[in-house]
Amino acid sequence: MNAFYGNGAGLSASSTTPSNNFGVGLVDVSSGNLIERNKIGGNLNGVFIDSSGDSGNIIRRNLIAGNPSAQVATDFAFPVGADIRDLSTSGSNTFEGNRCLTYMGAAPSPCPNVGKLDDDEEQREMAAFARNRLVFPQARLIDVVGALSHERLFRAHRLWLSRRGGEGFCRSGCDLLRRRRDRPA
Amino acid sequence: MNRPLPHRITVLALAFSALFLCARPTRATDIMGTISNTMVISDDSELVGDVTCTVTNAPCIAFGASGIKLRLNGFSITGSATDCTASTATDGIDAVGQHDVAILGPGLVQKFAVFGIALIQATKVRVEGVTMTDNCFSGIILIATTDSDIERNLSVRNSMHSGGNPCGGT
């Protein structure tokens, strides 16, 4: 994650042209880049994509808000920038799951998007876990949660290991969790 | 092959010594104080104190080799563009045409007349944990640079004097 705040300066408060300054910019035929999980605020434009033919870029899961800042927006009568200012051809770049409010560019607009409940992967896991707990009667809950926890721990541990070099690293932790998971009730 | 035992021991000893000699880490260049001419680094280097840069029309620090790192160690590199009105063309750190180089924070690159960090025609560059502020054009700029990781950096208040040029944080 990078953070980009307060970058850019307008030419003149009386200008009727939006600024091309930015927090994160894709210019001069930039392609195949991933802009992910950044915090971008208070810039003249949060994310700026010019019209030179930038394509195949993925902009996802960023928090892009407050671009431009309230003071700048007040000083410039004409809209000077936006959270996302996209001058590229519609559909040539991908916007996914960004939290943003304002957009300048061709439709469809990815903003405003303030997210949805359970948007986040971890939040979904937690919510699913909570829902599973609630469907069982209280009397059976302890054993069920115990078994569920070991299974989930085992799966989470395996996932963690696979992201760090595969199951080859799985030694005592995996064995312990596997034994607990397979232990007869 | 039936070489006599002392001969084999000698060969082994030489090989072992060579291994140690080859594995010795490259000596790092320590950087601090005032830089008035571009400092070209050719081996792993690190800041051991704050740097004030008075170079004009050239980068303050430039990568002169591939496969090396510059560690900022929490110190700052400060240019002389305090109000972005001087007509110089100075960058903080340049990596031009290099492969597999890294600029590692934490650290601060500030007040340069053009770019804080310029990566030009480079490949596999890593910039991590660096704060760029008050640089007159962009905090970090990548021009024809590919396969690079720009991660956990903070770009603030750059591009105050870029005029109509498309500049900003990164």
Q: What is the pLDDT of residue A134?
A: 56
State whether residue B149 sits within 8 Å of chain A by CB.
Answer: no
Q: Residue A156 has which token pair?
A: 């989470």
State whether residue B4 sits within 8 Å of chain A by CB.
Answer: no
Q: Which residue of B has its CA nearest to A41?
A: B156
Nearest to A48 among B150, B156, B166 (CB): B166
State whether residue A43 sits within 8 Å of chain B by CB.
Answer: yes
State whether residue A7 sits within 8 Å of chain B by CB.
Answer: yes
B155/A3 CB distance under 8 A: yes
Q: What is the pLDDT of residues B20-56, one digit of tens each?
A: 444 344 457 899 999 999 999 999 999 999 999 999 9
Residues with Cβ within 8 Å of residue B57, at least 6 apart in sequence: B88, B89, B90
- Under the banding of pLDDT at 50, 70 and 90, the label for residue B16 is very low
- Under the banding of pLDDT at 50, 70 and 90, the label for residue B83 is confident
pLDDT of A135 above 80: no
Domain ranges of chain A: 3-105, 121-182
> What distance in Å separates the CA atoms of residue B118 and residue B105, rounded to the nearest whole number?
16
In terms of DSSP bridges, do strands A47-49 and A24-26 run parallel, antiparallel, or are they unpaired? parallel
- Under the banding of pLDDT at 50, 70 and 90, the label for residue B95 is very high
Q: What is the pLDDT of residues A9-55, one digit of tens each?
A: 877 888 888 999 999 999 998 988 999 989 999 999 999 999 999 99
Domain ranges of chain B: 26-156
Which residues of B are less than 8 Å from A27 in CB distance?
166
CA distance A162 to chain B (A): 22
